[in-house]
Amino acid sequence: MAKQVKTIGVLTSGGDAPGMNAAIRAVTRKAIKNGLKVKGIKKGYMGLLNEEIVDFEWRSVADIIQRGGTILGTARCLEFVEEEGQRRGAEICRKHGIDGIIVIGGDGSYRGAQALSHQGINTIGIPGTIDLDIACTEYTIGFDTAVNTAMSAIDKVRDTSSSHERCNVIEVMGRHAGYIALWCSIANGADDILIPEKYDYDEQKIIDNIIVNRKRGKTHHIIINAEGIGHSGSMARRIEAATGIETRATILGSIQRGGSPSCKDRVYASTMGCFAADLMAEGKTNRVVCYKDGDYTDLDIDEALAMQKSISEYQYEIAKSIL
Catalytic residues: 131
| Binding residue (CB under 6 A) for ligand F6P from 102, 173, 182, 184 | 173
Report, in Å, the least distance between residue 17 CB and ligand F6P. 6
Report, in Å, the least distance between residue 312 CB and ligand F6P. 19
Q: How many CB atoms within 10 Å of residue 151?
A: 16
Q: Any contact of residue 144 with ligand F6P (CB under 6 A)?
A: no
Find out whether 72 and 10 touch, Cβ atoms under 8 Å.
yes
φ, ψ of residue 125 in degrees (nearest 5): -100, 145
Q: How far apart are the C-alpha atoms of 116 and 89, rounded to whole Å?
A: 7
Amino acid at 312: S
User: By the criterion CB under 6 A, which residues form the site for ligand ADP?
Assistant: 13-15, 45, 76-77, 80-81, 105-109, 111-112, 115, 129
Question: Using only C-alpha atoms, what is the Rg of the chain?
Answer: 22
Q: Any contact of residue 175 with ligand F6P (CB under 6 A)?
A: yes
Among positive and negative, which fits the CA dihedral 262, 141, 105, 132?
A: negative
Q: How far apart are the C-alpha atoms of 284 and 226, rounded to whole Å?
A: 37
The item of ligand F6P, ligand ADP, none sharing an interface with residue 137, based on CB under 5 to 8 Å by kind, is: none
Interacting stretch for ligand F6P, rule CB under 6 A, among 36-44, 66-74, 167-175, 299-307? 167-175
CA angle 283, 284, 288 (to 5 degrees): 145
Q: What is the pairing mode between strands 53-56 and 37-41?
A: antiparallel
Of 227-286, binders to ligand F6P (CB under 6 A) are 227, 257
Number of residues that bind ligand F6P (CB under 6 A): 9
The item of ligand F6P, ligand ADP, none sharing an interface with residue 112, based on CB under 5 to 8 Å by kind, is: ligand ADP
The item of ligand ADP, ligand F6P, none sharing an interface with residue 9, based on CB under 5 to 8 Å by kind, is: none
Contact positions vs ligand F6P (CB under 6 A): 15, 129-131, 173-175, 227, 257
